[in-house]
Chain A
Amino acid sequence: MYLTVRDATKTYGNFTALDRVSIEIEKGEFVCLLGPSGCGKTTLLRLIAGLTDLDGGTITLEGATLSDLPARKRGFGIVFQSYSLFPNMTVAENIGYGLKIRGVRKDDIAARVQELLALVKLPQVADNLPGQLSGGQQQRIALARAIAVDPRVLLLDEPLSALDAKVRAVLRDEIRQVQRSLGIPTLMVTHDQEEALALADKIICMNHGVVVQAGTPEDLYHRPATRFVAEFMGISNLLAADTVARHFPDLVPTRPASEDSYLACIRPEQIEVTPSENGGAVVRSISFLGNLRRLEVESPAGPLLVETHGGSPYHTGDRVELSIAPKACTWVVDDTVGTEAVSA
């Protein structure tokens, strides 16, 4: 294991920001810390960066403990949401700053800066001041500045959140490309599940200062362990066990134990819908989302969300038949009981 966090704990007064959190990052891996605001993901990133002190637990890099090392000696690269370029330095000076501190020769710095500017596709802006660049450009420079020093770990703190949708999508792909080509182990904090699904090799889903589930994007989307994960990772239909037994008896054998608190989680695109004169369900409303349509269907099992691709023959009020394949159903623990339900 390359970077290991074990039992990391951090409290602020009475508030526990992190409660014995353990995570692992392998060499070259892109890991996303995903969760709603206040779940502790940024605190965890700052602990790893060395910007905040641990209250308990250990952080090790290739077996060596990092706890006693101040941020400036960890050799990590970090990109913040707010760009955070040094306003008094030009783009080239910003990117070269870490190398300058390391005493690299001027010519070598200049060459490396040009190389990095080409990598982030901004070869012309070396002598500009940060204030003269757009948000997307500034964030690319911030990325170049972070990777200039060949960091042992790249830390990204919501790097795309301040950008508008189009720029975000483009930059998302570029971050992925750069990370892949350089193979830098990367940890990114985000609250956007779509971003996490698109970028990560591994997603660590957090809530209330603990890790709820860690796994590949596929795992988390198709096999969520808890109701929180199911709801956070996109839209899902959650059905109580007795409802399932009454209306979809085919799904009952997939249930792992006879626990009543388990809920059946079915993604909207996994429900098959067919028009039927005497079907038991009625289309209540239709949202057109471009590539697909989302139907809100009133069924005997309660309201369900269904997604269909292609030209839809449905209208509000149509009667339809619903069917769910047993393999499309996942059973999740209802971990949001007693706490505020979080919906994606």
Chain B
Amino acid sequence: MSLAETSSRARMRPRFDADRLLTLACIGLPLLGLILFFAYPMVIVFLRSITVGDSYGLGNYTEVLGSSGFWRATRHSLAMGGATTVLSVLLGFIIAHGLYRCAFRGKWLIRSVIVLPLLAPSLVQALGLIFLLGRNGVISRMLGVEIEIYGFWGLLIANTLYALPQAVMIIGAALVLLDARTYEAAEVMGAPPWRQFRDLTLPAARFGILNAAFVCFTITITDFGNAAVIGGDYSVLATEIYSQVVGQRNFNMGAVVGIMLLLPTVISYSIERQAMKRQQAGQITGQEPYRPSFAPLRDISMAALSLLICAGILSVIGIVVYASFVTLWPYNMALSPKHYDITLAGGYSSLWMTIFISLAAASGGTVAVFLMGLGLRRLPKAVAQPIQILAAMPAAVPGMVLGLAYILTFNSTATPLYLLYGTAALIAIVNFYHYHTQGFLTVMTGFRQLPSALEEAAGSLGAGLGRTARDIVAPFIAPMLVSVFFFLFMRSMVTLSAVVFLTTPDLSVAAVTIMRLDDAGLTSQAAAFSTCVMGVVCLAVLSMKVTLALLRRRGANKGAT
């Protein structure tokens, strides 16, 4: 080592320090997980897509691109994605506008109904539609008409119901950003209500609408549950992967279709992230919330429209619950609990297993993103940024592709990772990494709100990293951690797309069981099982609300003396 090097090393201070070691562990462990359980499987799926026989080549791609089935599925996926996006953004804007820019009572009702589709596996919308509009559906029989619900239209409605909550939340968040003073200024300057809508509300929602459109498009083309249940002959890319892999055991071709599905989602996701940044840049602090005053024409029509949409959602979900109690749909409509006696497809064991897996994914995941956020704050920007980008990437990967990547990676005896294959741990892991981005970004939002002066103050009082994390950071972002925990739990309870490849005859999860029951023609039992899952998830929502309320109360009580 030369003299110059020695002195520059001395300035860099390669000093042994427990805090630096702890920082390394904080960042290292979650990063290792990301690489092992996200980056590595994604590389494998790519390599498999270009594996032909014993060598690499583009043979699989030319074969897929030459098949009419692939092009039909692509056309269908794009058409379905486009139609669902237009419809759900339109309806989502109506509801968000009603909630945040109109004055009427009963908003709590709309708010609670609108999130219902998020609390159930995506195939529940499809099940509900079949009970309503299928051959033996309530509405079909009432009107005495034969509606062909399997196919484009059924899938469009099911997907729209599934995407709608996201659209409402994203557009609503954009509308909230525009504060009351802006409207007051416009009012004073003489702008009539329609001009305020056109010149203020719409431009404010612009990024929200764009963002919502990309999110709706992505979740539509990647969703598997609805397509599997109500798609019928209308094949889409997600079902195409499933039939390639599970139907024809053709893993390499499945990998090719997976990579093709990855393209639009990656593009859409990166545009969405850009839009989000623009929106955040426009944010101002210390705003005055907008309180709309009653305008009869606007508010009554908006309330009516919103309630109508909510009635639609409620009837689709409600009919599933109702049908699960009907003795023999549609011939004997007497109520009985007999469908809850599920013996096929492993009975309720998969429900308990799913709860266990979801708890594991939620607790492990929450700890992992917390440590990561803690470590990232202490890393130089040049190092932190690439890690942040990697941590935000899983959202761009459709569940089907991630699941496929897992089966290709962990079902191969080439590495000791094989030991994980077929275990509940692997399903918990895939669930966490499937929803890693959302959890990570939520925690990072919490960390951004934490003033660095708090940690610096603790530091100059003598607190090390461990102590600061426990006494200062964790209490500060506790609400975020609670949200992340329950988010991961609920998503793990209902997700189907990634886990569908990883279940075995001995180890199944709830959403897969529902699909199996429906496949076997036991629609009423599928409904009963769905109702149980929704019950568990609703319980989780309730616990989350109670926990967050307790956190607030504890804070308030502490200062009340």
Give A residues with C-beta under 8 Å from B.
Answer: 49-51, 53, 55-56, 67-68, 70-78, 80, 82, 84, 86-90, 97-98, 101-102, 127-129, 131-132, 142, 145-146, 149, 155
Tell me if B558 is interfacial: C-beta within 8 Å of chain A. yes
The distance from the CB of A93 to the nearest CB of chain B, in whole angstroms, is: 9
Contacts of A55 in B (CB 8 A): 11
Is B288 close to A, CB under 8 A?
no
Q: Are the CB atoms of B460 and A50 closer together than 8 Å?
A: yes
Residues of A within 8 A of B558 (CB): 90, 127, 129
* Cβ contact within 8 Å between A149 and B476: no
Q: Does B458 sit within 8 A of A, measured CB to CB?
A: yes
Across the interface, B460 reaches (CB within 8 A) one of A77, A88, A90, namely A77
Please name all residues of chain B whose beta carbon is closer than 8 Å to the beta carbon of A142 when the two chains form the complex.
457
Cβ-defined contact, B453 with A82, below 8 A:
yes
Measured CB to CB, the nearest residue on chain A to B15 is A68
Q: Which of B451, B461, B464 contacts A97 (CB 8 A)?
A: B461
Chain B contacts for A127, CB-based, 8 A:
558-559, 561
Partner of B559, one of A49, A68, A73, A132: A132
Distance of A202 Cα from B155 Cα, bound (Å): 77
A46 to B254, CA, bound (A): 56
Interface residues in B411-455 by Cβ distance below 8 A to A read 451, 453-454
Chain A residues contacting B458 (CB-CB under 8 Å) are 86, 97
Question: A132: which B residues are within 8 A, CB to CB?
Answer: 559
Other CB < 8 Å A-B pairs besides A72-B459, A88-B472, 11 of them? A71-B456, A71-B459, A72-B460, A75-B462, A77-B460, A80-B456, A87-B476, A101-B461, A129-B555, A129-B559, A131-B559
A183 to B435 Cα, complex, angstroms: 56
Convert B471-506 into 0s and 1s, putting 1 for each residue whose CB lies closer than 8 angstroms to a CB of A. Answer: 110011000000000000000000000000000000
Tell me which residues across on chain A come within 8 A of B475, comparing CB atoms: 86, 88
Instruction: List residues of chain B with CB within 8 A of the CB of A77.
Output: 460-461
Residues of B with C-beta under 8 A to A97 = 458, 461, 463, 471
Report B-chain residues with C-beta under 8 Å of the C-beta of A75. 462
Between-chain CB contacts (< 8 Å), 25 pairs: A49-B456, A49-B460, A50-B460, A51-B456, A53-B13, A56-B11, A68-B13, A71-B456, A71-B459, A71-B460, A72-B461, A72-B464, A74-B460, A77-B460, A78-B460, A80-B453, A84-B451, A84-B456, A86-B457, A88-B475, A97-B471, A101-B463, A101-B467, A142-B457, A145-B457
Residue of A nearest to B475 (CB): A88
Note all chain B residues with C-beta closer than 8 A to A76. Answer: 460
User: Does B459 contact A86, Cβ atoms closer than 8 Å?
Assistant: no
Which of B15, B559, B561 has the most CB atoms of chain A within a 10 A radius of its CB?
B559
Q: Are B459 and A84 neighbours in the complex by a CB distance under 8 Å?
A: no
Determine whether B54 belongs to the interface, using a CB cutoff of 8 Å to chain A: no
- Taken together as a complex, chains A and B put the C-alpha atoms of A98 and B471 apart, in Å, by 12
B559 contact set on A, CB distance < 8 A: 90, 127-129, 131-132
Distance in angstroms from A279 CB to nearest chain B CB is: 51
Asked if A73 and B462 sit within 8 Å, CB to CB, the answer is yes
A97→B19 CA distance, assembly (Å): 19
Contacts of B457 in A (CB 8 A): 78, 80, 84, 86, 142, 145
Instruction: Check: B233 CB closer than 8 A to any chain A CB.
Output: no
The 8 closest A-B pairs by CB, nearest first: A129-B559, A98-B461, A88-B475, A84-B453, A127-B561, A80-B453, A71-B459, A101-B462
Which of A50, A68, A86, A128 has the most CB atoms of chain B within a 10 A radius of its CB?
A: A86
Neighbouring B residues of A84 by C-beta, 8 Å: 451, 453-454, 456-457
- Residues of A near B11 (CB, < 8 A) are 55-56
In the bound assembly, the distance between CA atoms of A102 and B467 in angstroms comes to 12
Report how far A149 CA is from B463 CA in the complex, Å.
Answer: 12
In the complex the two chains form, what is the Cα distance from A76 to B462 in whole Å? 9
**Chain B residues whose CB sits within 8 angstroms of the CB of A56 once the complex forms:** 11
| A87 and chain B: residue at smallest CB distance | B476
Contact of A149 among B17, B19, B451, B461 (CB under 8 A): B461
- Given the complex of chains A and B, what is the CA–CA distance between A73 and B19 in angstroms? 12
Q: How far is the CA of A218 from the CA of B64 in the complex (A)?
A: 85
Contacts of B454 in A (CB 8 A): 84, 86
Chain B residues near A71 (CB, 8 Å)?
A: 456, 459-460
* 540-561 of chain B: CB within 8 A of chain A: 555, 558-559, 561
A70-B17, A70-B19, A101-B467 given; A51·B462 CB < 8 A: no
Return chain B residues, CB-CB under 8 Å to A131: 559
Q: Closest Cβ of chain B: how far from A216's Cβ, in Å?
A: 29
List chain A residues, Cβ under 8 A from B15: 68
The complex places the Cα of A281 from the Cα of B555 at a distance, in Å, of: 67
Taken together as a complex, chains A and B put the C-alpha atoms of A49 and B453 apart, in Å, by: 12
- In the assembled complex, which residues on chain B have CB atoms less than 8 Å from the CB atom of A49? 456, 460
Residues of A within 8 A of B459 (CB): 50-51, 70-72
Most chain B beta carbons < 10 A, residue from A77, A80, A102, A131: A80
Contact yes or no, B456 A78, CB < 8 A: yes
- In Å, the complex CA distance between A70 and B463 comes to 11
Complex Cα spacing A145 to B13, Å:
30
Taken together as a complex, chains A and B put the C-alpha atoms of A243 and B145 apart, in Å, by 103
Given the complex of chains A and B, what is the CA–CA distance between A155 and B460 in angstroms? 10
A90–B475 alpha-carbon span in the complex (Å): 13
How far apart are A318's CB and chain B's nearest CB, in angstroms? 45
Closest residue of chain B to A55 (Cβ to Cβ) is: B11
Query: In the complex the two chains form, what is the Cα distance from A101 to B458 in whole Å?
Result: 10
